[in-house]
Chains A and B, each alone.
Chain A
Amino acid sequence: MMKMDAPGDAITRLVSRMFEAPALRRLTALQKEEQALQFFKQNGAQLQPVLASVGIGGAGRDTVAQLVREARSLADAMLEREISRAADECLQYIFVPALGTSRVPPAASREEIKQLCRRSATHPVARMALAGSLSAVLSDITDKYIPHIWERRKYTFMEVARVQRLTLKAEECADLLRLTLLVRPAAYLHVVADARQGPEAGYAPVQEATLDRALPGLRSQMAGTPPDAVRMGVRAALSFPGTPGLEAVSRLTAIFALRGRSLAPAMVVDRGADSPDKSWFNVARRNATWRGLDPRMLDELYSIAAENGW
């Protein structure tokens, strides 16, 4: 049984344990936070007697509020490490020459990306968007799929190479996608949180006009990062069928960001169930129009997942 100590310490320990529970252990900080907050919201009433039995809290709502604060605080601490890891270890900037931009100092751009992510983390909607982006960047999803897309030379490759006219190698495209994924949450910095959308708010398409207002400011804050990459990143929040000329990289970014939201590394797949990626892409391609995603890209990613048993 829990020893009777300061309630604050007990709450911190409890939330730490929750974050390390088998079901959450492999998730990113924001995914853990989302799970924990959902849990507190759904089980607040049941939680109170359990906590009271070990001397935590008294007035139920206050205790839950404390738990929520602690979960956010713990997630913030972990998030800082994840942002650093994403910017310092995952971004290589090997795509820069292909964008036709003059050579940029990666260190400055990395710092800008970190700042942008930190800023996104403080905004309720952008924070939700950051969850999927960070999860995708920290996973190997881009490195897994892009080489296959390049090898197949079908729709997605043609859209990037012929329509968008980007001469990128597979690894350069994967690197660019990691950067655009980290930029994408900034598109929601000017979006007002809508309670009806819940956690989906960070994945709902935004209006182009909203981006037009945000983009100049972003460019000035990210002078050290290729402007095309920033543009592609924030435009990843636009709806595909409704936005003529939406870049292929932005469309891919939108797909990977949404996929990142439900990525669960080392997920145990039930016997008789299809693989997580194949299942996800199959559902996503059926809801592509509704989600504002490119259905043909989803078809191709679904085929790759099916062929590789992902």
Chain B
Amino acid sequence: MKKIGDFFEALVVVVIIIALVHTFLEDFAVLAGWTVPARRWLIWAGLAIDLIFTVEFFTRLYFAIVRGRAFDYFFRERGWIDFIASIPLLLFSSLPSVLALLAGAGLVNGMGSFLNVLKVIKAVRIARILRLLRVVKLFRSIRYARSMLAQRHIATITTIGVTVLVAWVLVANFLGGLGILPGLDRPFLVSQADHARYLGEKGAGGAMVQGQARVLAAFDSTLLVARPAGGQTSWTRYDDAYYANHFLPGDYEYFTVNGVESFFDGRPLAQAAAREGVVFFVAILLSVLAYILLYSPRFALDITDPVHVMKRGMEESGYNLEVKIPDRRATEDVFELAGLYNRIFLPMKDRESAGQEQASALGIDDIRSFVEKQ
């Protein structure tokens, strides 16, 4: 049973790493101009990953409930991260993206169901940031320090750091969407909205729309399609095949004004969002690495190492090494305690243990191994 559990844990670590690479690649693909088929593959992969994490969350929750530890799992063992990094992402990110793909979102001309999905896709971009929380999930699998205290402490501080960062980015994006905290994309969107109003100001007649679109297309290169709502396309910049090969659901900006639907090229915005995504991803990875590589040795040096030395000194009769106390830190709590250990406990132990049998450096397990080797 333990072997199955270990295998499961190892598998989850592998999937987390794949998920992180996938999260990075989704944004990188936009910036690097990967082909639409390649980006489609990433969308499908995203669904598979989110499904796996959803199954993982329910499995862990199930076993926690069976053992009567559901509360502990969810709140104390960071089950809430398992939850946030699985179900909401599946429902609000990968599943809508896949649905949009299935609805033929690449083919602008000719589908109606796409429009509603497209609106969801816009909201979903925010949710993708939650994927970065998986970095924290990965962290709990790293056994870098021998002390449980160090592991728990570093995991907690990393969780807080990453969660606060992700939460703030989420809020900032949400506020940006509401126009309370406008971003650089604001003028771009305002301009497209103005142009959409221009397209609709003379009504939804096919000829009128076509005329307005022709005029507009001359100075707005992002206008792609104009048509009366639910009607035939009045004007399009490219044919269906081009849209299918160069656009994904998230690449459009969509407006309806006075019964006139207009589609604009949203790829510059998608690129800006991808650039932000890469920046956040790298920032979070760097902060986690900093916790692991810079902070955890510091924590070990200041807390767990002195505690470990004192623990050994108290447990093992033959262990009499003092705690190393840096001069500048002697007044800190742990080193004050270590000072007492050095000055009072060890000399007392030396006197107390004189005349008593010391524990041997050998253990019964050593003998078992010798016997088995013979």
- A23: B residues at CB distance < 8 A: 361-362, 366
Are the C-beta atoms of B374 and A3 separated by less than 8 Å? yes
Q: Are B351 and A287 closer than 8 Å at their CB atoms?
A: yes
- The interface stretch among B66-74, B119-127, B260-268, B303-311 is B303-311
Whether A39 pairs with B347 at a CB distance below 8 angstroms is no
Task: Given the known inter-chain contacts A42-B359, A273-B321, A283-B347, please indicate yes or no for A54 contacting B364, CB distance below 8 A.
Answer: no
Residues of A with C-beta under 8 A to B346: 279, 282-283
Query: Is the CB of A166 closer than 8 A to any CB of chain B?
Result: no
Contacting pair B364 A46 (CB below 8 A):
yes
Contact with B along A38-59 (1 / 0, CB 8 A): 1101110011001101100000
**Cross-chain pair count, CB within 8 angstroms:** 121
B374 touches A274 (CB 8 A): no
Looking at A105-113, A194-202, A212-220, the stretch in contact with chain B turns out to be A194-202
User: Smallest CB-CB separation from B354: which chain A residue?
Assistant: A200
Q: A35 to B356, Cβ gap below 8 A?
A: no
Considering only CB atoms and an 8 Å cut-off, how many residues of chain B contact the other chain?
Answer: 38
Given contacts A36-B360, A196-B355, A272-B301, contact A21 B321 (CB under 8 A): no
Kindly state whether residue A141 has any CB partner on chain B within 8 Å. Answer: no
- What are the residues of chain A within 8 A of B347 when measuring CB–CB? 283, 286-287
Cβ of B324 under 8 Å from chain A: yes
Across the interface, name the chain A residue whose C-beta is closest to B366.
A21
- In the complex, residue of chain B having the shortest beta-carbon distance to the beta carbon of A16: B370
The answer to whether A24 touches B362, judged by C-beta atoms less than 8 angstroms apart, is yes
Q: Is B367 an interface residue (CB 8 A)?
A: yes
We find that the number of chain A residues with CB closer than 8 angstroms to chain B is 47
Contact A274 B321, beta carbon cutoff 8 Å: yes
Q: Is A266 an interface residue (CB 8 A)?
A: no
Q: Of B347, B368, B372, which is in contact with the most chain A CB atoms at under 10 Å from its CB? A: B347
Asked whether B356 lies within 8 Å of A198 as measured between CB atoms, the reply is yes
> How far, in whole Å, are A2 and B355 apart by their CA atoms in the complex?
37
Residue ID in chain B nearest A17 by CB atoms: B370
Give min CB distance, B279 to chain A, whole Å. Answer: 36
Tell me which of A13, A18, A273 contacts B324 (CB under 8 A): A273
Q: Are B357 and A278 in contact (CB under 8 A)?
A: no
Contact code string A270-310 (vs B, CB < 8 Å = 1, else 0)? 11111110111011101100100000000000000000000
Complex: chain B residue closest to A201, CB-CB? B355
Known: A41-B357, A199-B357, A274-B324. A282 touches B342 (CB 8 A): yes
Known: A200-B354, A270-B305. A2 touches B323 (CB 8 A): no
Q: How far is the CA of A46 from the CA of B347 in the complex (A)?
A: 32
The reply to whether A271 and B370 contact each other, CB–CB distance below 8 Å, is no
Q: Which of chain A's residues have a CB closer than 8 A to the CB of B308? A: 270, 272
B321 touches A270 (CB 8 A): yes
Q: Which residues of B contact A279 (CB under 8 A)?
A: 320-322, 346
List residues of B whose CB falls within 8 A of some A CB: 300-301, 304-306, 308-309, 312, 318, 320-324, 342-343, 346-347, 350-351, 354-362, 364, 366-368, 370-374
Q: Which 6 A-B pairs have the closest CB atoms?
A: A272-B305, A39-B360, A2-B374, A23-B361, A273-B321, A286-B347
Q: What are 16 A-B contacts with C-beta separation under 8 Å?
A: A2-B374, A14-B367, A21-B370, A23-B361, A35-B362, A41-B357, A47-B367, A51-B371, A197-B354, A198-B356, A199-B357, A270-B312, A272-B306, A283-B320, A287-B347, A287-B351
Q: A46-B364, A272-B324, A282-B346 are in contact. List 20 more A-B contacts (CB 8 A).
A: A1-B374, A2-B371, A2-B374, A10-B374, A14-B374, A17-B374, A21-B362, A23-B361, A36-B360, A39-B362, A42-B359, A42-B360, A51-B371, A54-B374, A272-B304, A272-B306, A276-B321, A279-B346, A282-B322, A287-B347
Interface residues, chain A, CB within 8 Å of chain B? 1-3, 10, 13-14, 17-18, 21, 23-24, 35-36, 38-39, 41-43, 46-47, 50-51, 53-54, 196-200, 262, 269-276, 278-280, 282-284, 286-287, 290
